């Protein structure tokens, strides 16, 4: 049987949404190199922190790619007890951003030559996924961290919290300050998936285990056609992704209002104004005492 090969159009950061064997499994394949570089540059991140944030953004972008509505978003918080502290990434269908408590962590390489992402994040703790689907209450899913390397943690999240068995590979290939490649692959068997298809995917999984090196070696469509030969890979959608922070003065105003009238009044009494900095992009927003007084008028008593 002659197979139609997958051909992609876009360049740069993007997510490919594919199906295998007429819908027996779905595949998300992401290149997140540019956003990982942008994040590293903004935060002046060390190589291992760059790798950790790159992997987290890629996994979060997978969740973002599965959102249906335009105004929906998802945030993933990792608290693993490691020297990076907490890590947070936020994504919608196209935009991704991330931050951490500490970007300066340096650790020896692991025995296999890989950066010690698990050491930087920590090996035990929690992964929290909050999906804002535009409803009154957000969806919140939580699970224990399995390793802190993140690929296996995202797989565990999908399997345990969303009851969706998943194969996840996440990778960021870093050299000094440069992100050579970052990306990830998600494979999910769908209802009606044959046992032999699952066996085939497991058999082939070593091929995409080191996903950033794979991405560095060949174009995405070539990789897909090779990995899934004989499994009828079909490209359903191709979408650009980007680093983007949606912080704004209005958001910062809301944050100030949310601390309550009493705390705001203390800042007003200090009469030095307030300067807020966005954790994700570093943008600074300053407020004068008069502006704070106006905000206090709309704040609630706590």
- d(C-alpha 5, C-alpha 268), whole Å: 64
By beta-carbon proximity to Zn ion, the closer residue of 216 and 281 is 281
Instruction: Give the separation between CA 167 and CA 151, rounded to whole angstroms.
Output: 9
Minimum distance, C-beta of residue 28 to Zn ion, in the bound complex (Å): 26
Does 245 sit near Zn ion (CB under 5 A)? yes
Q: Which stretch binds Zn ion (CB under 5 A): 50-58, 102-110, 195-203, 242-250?
A: 242-250
Alpha carbon distance 84, 100 (integer Å): 6
Other beta carbons within 10 angstroms of residue 176's beta carbon come to 8
98 binds Zn ion (CB under 5 A): no
Residue 130 interacting with Zn ion (CB under 5 A): no
Q: Shortest gap between Cβ of 280 and Zn ion (angstroms)?
A: 5
From CA 20, how far away is CA 296, in angstroms rounded? 56
Name the segment binding Zn ion (CB under 5 A); options: 185-193, 205-213, 255-263, 280-288: 280-288
How many residues lie near Zn ion (CB under 5 A)?
6
**280 touching Zn ion, by CB under 5 A:** yes
- The pattern of x and - marking residues 195 through 234 that bind Zn ion according to CB under 5 A reads ----------------------------------------
Smallest gap from Cβ 166 to Zn ion, in A, equals 30
In 3D, which of 115, 113, 111, 59 has the Cα closest to residue 84? 115
Q: Which stretch binds Zn ion (CB under 5 A): 67-75, 86-94, 187-195, 282-290?
A: 282-290
Q: Which helix (H) or strand (E) holds 184?
A: strand 178-189
261 vs 279, beta carbon nearer Zn ion: 279
Q: Per rule CB under 5 A, is residue 283 in the interface with Zn ion?
A: yes
Residues in the chain: 302
Q: Kindly list the strands in the beta sheet with 178-189, ordered across the sheet, starting from the edge strand earlier in the chain.
A: 167-175, 178-189, 25-31, 14-20, 234-240
Q: Name the nearest CA neighbour of 32 among 13, 52, 53.
A: 13
**Would you list the DSSP string of 96-133?**
EEEEES-S----PPPTTS---HHHHH-SSSEEEEEEE-
Q: Which segment (14-22, 38-46, 247-255, 260-268) binds Zn ion by CB under 5 A? A: 247-255
Report the residue number, 39 or 74, with the smaller CB distance to Zn ion: 39
Q: For Zn ion, what does the binding mask look like between residues 131 and 160, x meaning CB under 5 A? A: ------------------------------
Cβ–Cβ < 8 Å for 248, 280: no
From the list 249, 247, 220, the residue with the least C-alpha distance to 235 is: 220
The answer to whether 247 contacts Zn ion (rule: CB under 5 A) is yes
Nearest to Zn ion of 86, 200 (CB atom):
86
| Closest among 5, 48, 76, 39 to 228, alpha carbons compared | 5
Q: Which stretch binds Zn ion (CB under 5 A): 29-37, 125-133, 168-176, 240-248?
A: 240-248
Q: Report the residue number, 52 or 245, with the smaller CB distance to Zn ion.
A: 245
DSSP label at residue 190:
P
Q: Does 96 bind Zn ion (CB under 5 A)?
A: no
278 forms part of the interface with Zn ion (CB under 5 A): yes
For binding to Zn ion (CB under 5 A), which residues are involved? 245, 247, 278, 280-281, 283
């Amino acid at each position: 049987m002659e197979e139609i090969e997958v051909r992609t159009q876009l360049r740069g950061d993007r997510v490919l949404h594919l199906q295998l064997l007429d819908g027996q499994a779905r595949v998300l394949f992401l290149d997140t190199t540019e956003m990982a570089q942008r994040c590293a540059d903004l935060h002046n991140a060390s190589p291992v922190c760059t790798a950790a944030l790159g992997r987290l953004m890629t996994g979060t972008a997978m969740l973002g790619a599965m959102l249906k509505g335009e105004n929906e978003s998802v945030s993933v918080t990792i608290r693993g007890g490691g020297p990076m502290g907490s890590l947070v990434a936020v994504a919608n269908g196209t935009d991704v951003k991330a931050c951490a408590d500490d970007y300066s962590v340096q650790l020896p390489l692991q025995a296999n030559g890989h950066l010690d992402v698990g050491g930087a994040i920590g090996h035990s703790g929690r992964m929290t996924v909050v999906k804002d689907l535009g409803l009154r209450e957000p969806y919140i899913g939580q699970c224990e961290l399995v390793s802190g390397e993140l690929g296996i943690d995202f797989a565990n999240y999908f399997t345990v919290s969303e009851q969706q068995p998943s194969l996840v590979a996440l990778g960021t290939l870093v050299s000094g300050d440069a992100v050579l490649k970052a990306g990830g692959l998600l494979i999910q068997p769908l209802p009606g998936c044959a046992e032999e298809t699952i066996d085939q995917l497991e058999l082939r999984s070593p091929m995409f285990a080191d996903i950033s090196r794979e991405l560095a070696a060949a174009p995405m469509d070539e990789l897909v056609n090779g990995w899934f030969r004989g499994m009828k890979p079909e490209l359903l959608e191709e979408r650009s992704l980007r680093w983007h922070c949606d912080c704004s003065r209005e958001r910062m105003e809301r944050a100030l209002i949310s601390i309550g009238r009493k705390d705001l009044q203390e800042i007003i009494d200090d009469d030095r104004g307030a300067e807020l900095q966005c954790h994700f992009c570093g943008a600074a927003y300053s407020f004068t005492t008069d502006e704070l007084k106006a905000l206090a008028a709309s704040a609630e008593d706590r």
